Structure 1
Amino acid sequence: MSLTLAQARVIIDTALAKGRADAAQPLAVVVLDAGAHPVACVREDGASLFRFDIAKAKASGALGMGADTRVIAGRAASNPVFFQSVVAVTGGQLALSPGGVLIREMEGAVIGAVGISGDTGDCDEACAIAGILAAGLSHGDVT
């Protein structure tokens, strides 16, 4: 199974709706397929300049490291030199903050990732998970 544009749109629309319901700051949302190719992305009016880039780095970092960015950030706390090196060698394709979440088909295979930036990492992550679930998909890292 591959991630479809229709699923990506549900993820984005639901994530933005949750953000508005939670009074989040303006968000940027990026949905990538399993190969880290963009499927869809949006930036709400008022979202600051780097929000799209941060959202993309969260999604691509989750895919590249095989874990949600919350998990990666925890690992980075105990091994900062390694993770700073990863950020450098990937040209910034890893953001060490919650909000990058792997997208799984119901059988468990990773089919993409969503990255959200604009509010706190906790809020960004909650919006991402709401979107994934609304699309009838699963989420979570490879542990």
Structure 2
Amino acid sequence: MAEITLDHARTIISAALAKGRELNLKPLTVVVLDAGGAMKAVEREDGAAPGRIEIAGGKAYGAVMLGMGGRAQMDRAEAQAYFIAAANGALGGRMVPVPGGVIVKDGDVTIGAVGISGDASDQDEAAALAGIEAAGLTAVP
């Protein structure tokens, strides 16, 4: 059975933070969750606010629990706000339905999610995509 490994998580985090530095982004926090929503790894850059851990985690958690990335969640919230509000309630208020939460797949199998927070959501997403790609996995924003 495919799963996200610690080596995957470390590669994702390292490459995502490198992309953030390349793009001159504000300090980032990267959270990697497994397919069940459990934390696999987290790293918060110097200067990133402590609350960014929960925000990045919420982006990843919503993605893996709903099976849709943060961008898709945001689009759904704009079209059906009641659905996202109800889902967030059902998930204990842990979702942050904006870009920066990205599903991680190995082939057709969802193995986890990445959440990044620290800059604008679109920039957070760009860093997540770079990290997932560097690990040789498929990203679904």
**Is TM more than 0.5 here?**
yes
Which residue is equivalent to 2:21? 20
Secondary structure at the aligned position of 1:139 is classed as strand
SS where residue 82 of structure 1 aligns? helix
What's the Cα RMSD here? 1.1
Residue equivalent to 1:57: 58
Query: Once the two structures are superposed, what CA deviation does each residue of 1:50-71 show, in whole Å capped at 9, x if it has no partner?
Result: 2110000000100111111101
Identical-residue share of aligned pairs (%): 47
In structure 1, the residue matched to 2:131 is 131
Count of equivalent residues = 140
Structure 1 residue 81, shift from structure 2 partner? 2.1
Residue 117, structure 1, aligned to residue 121, structure 2: no
CA distance in 2, matches of 1:31, 1:100: 10
Query: Any stretches of 5+ residues in structure 2 without a counterpart?
Result: none
Q: Secondary structure of 2:33's partner?
A: strand
TM-score scaled by length of structure 1: 0.94
TM-score normalised to the size of structure 2?
0.95
CA separation in 2, counterparts of 1:39 and 1:136? 17
In 2, the alpha carbon distance for the partners of 1:13 and 1:53 equals 19
Unmatched 5+ stretches in structure 1: none
